[in-house]
C-alpha cells in the first residue's frame, strides 16, 4: 500500500514540475483540461513502464493499478483547480478588485473587466476551435456545437434547471 501511495505522489509531483516548467518557458500554453488529462495519463504509463523495466522488475501489475487510481485523483484535483482558476468569471472579478486596492464600484469593475474581455475573447476562441461559424459577422453553431447543445438542453430538462450562465 505504501509503495502505491508514494509511487503515485512521486510521479504526480514529477508531472506537475514538468507542467509548470514547460509553461514558465512558454513551451506549453494549452488550457484544455482534456489535453492535460490525457497527457498526464500517458506520462504515468511511460514512467511506470520505465520503473518496471529498470527498478521494480518483480512488482505486480496490481500495485501499478492502485498507484494509477491514486494518481488520477491528484490529477483530477489539479484539473479542478486549473479549470476554476483559468476560466472562472468570479475569480477574475475578485482579482480585479484585488488589483484595484481591494475596493471597487460596479462601474469600475465593468471598466476593468469589460464586456470585450468577457465575450469577444471567448467568441473568438469558439470560432477558432470551430464551435461557432462566422460569416459576414453573423454567427451560427457548427455541427459539433449543435450536438453539444442538444446534450446540454437534455440535461437541463432532466435536472429541471432553467436559469443558466
Partner 1 sequence: MINFVIINIAHTPLIFFFHLFYLRFRKNKIKFVYLINSLILSLIINFINLIIFYNSSILKIENIIIIITIQISAFLIYVEFFSMICRGFSLRILTDVYINKTVPKNKISSIYSSDKGYDWLLNKRLDSITNIGLIIREDYYYKLSNTGRVVSQISIFTKKILKLGKGGE
Of the candidates 54, 102, 128, 143, which one interacts with partner 1 according to CB under 8 A? Answer: 102
DSSP category for residue 41: H
Question: What residues numbered 37-56 form the site for partner 1, per CB under 8 A?
Answer: none
The angle formed by the CA atoms of residues 43, 39 and 70, to the nearest 5 degrees, is 60
DSSP category for residue 56: -
Ramachandran bin of 71, using left for φ above 0, alpha for ψ from -120 to 50, beta for the remaining angles: alpha
In total, the chain counts a number of residues equal to 165
In terms of CB distance, is 39 or 83 closer to partner 1?
83
By the rule CB under 8 A, 32 interacts with partner 1: no
Cell of 160: 429541471
Q: Are 139 and 132 in contact (CB under 8 A)?
A: yes
Q: Minimum CB separation from partner 1 for residue 54, in Å?
A: 24
Q: Minimum CB separation from partner 1 for residue 58, in Å?
A: 17
Question: What residues numbered 11-30 form the site for partner 1, per CB under 8 A?
Answer: 19-20, 23-24, 26, 29
Q: Are 86 and 66 in contact (CB under 8 A)?
A: no
By the rule CB under 8 A, 1 interacts with partner 1: yes
By the rule CB under 8 A, 59 interacts with partner 1: no
Of the candidates 17, 91, 111, 130, which one interacts with partner 1 according to CB under 8 A? Answer: 91
Of the candidates 82, 111, 128, 143, which one interacts with partner 1 according to CB under 8 A? Answer: 82
Amino acid at each position: 500500500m505504501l509503495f502505491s501511495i508514494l509511487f503515485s505522489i512521486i510521479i504526480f509531483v514529477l508531472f506537475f514540475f514538468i507542467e509548470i516548467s514547460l509553461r514558465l518557458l512558454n513551451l506549453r500554453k494549452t488550457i484544455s483540461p482534456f489535453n492535460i488529462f490525457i497527457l498526464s495519463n500517458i506520462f504515468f504509463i511511460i514512467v511506470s513502464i520505465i520503473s518496471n523495466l529498470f527498478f521494480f522488475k518483480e512488482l505486480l501489475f496490481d500495485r501499478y493499478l492502485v498507484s494509477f487510481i491514486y494518481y488520477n485523483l491528484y490529477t483530477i484535483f489539479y484539473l479542478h483547480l486549473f479549470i476554476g482558476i483559468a476560466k472562472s468569471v468570479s475569480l477574475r472579478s475578485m482579482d480585479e478588485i484585488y488589483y484595484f486596492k481591494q475596493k471597487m464600484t460596479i462601474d469600475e469593475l465593468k471598466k476593468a473587466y469589460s464586456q470585450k474581455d468577457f465575450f469577444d475573447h471567448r467568441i473568438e476562441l469558439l470560432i477558432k476551435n470551430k464551435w461557432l461559424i462566422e460569416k459576414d459577422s453573423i454567427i451560427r453553431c457548427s455541427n459539433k456545437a449543435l450536438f453539444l447543445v442538444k446534450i446540454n438542453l437534455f440535461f437541463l430538462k432532466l435536472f429541471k434547471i432553467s436559469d443558466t450562465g
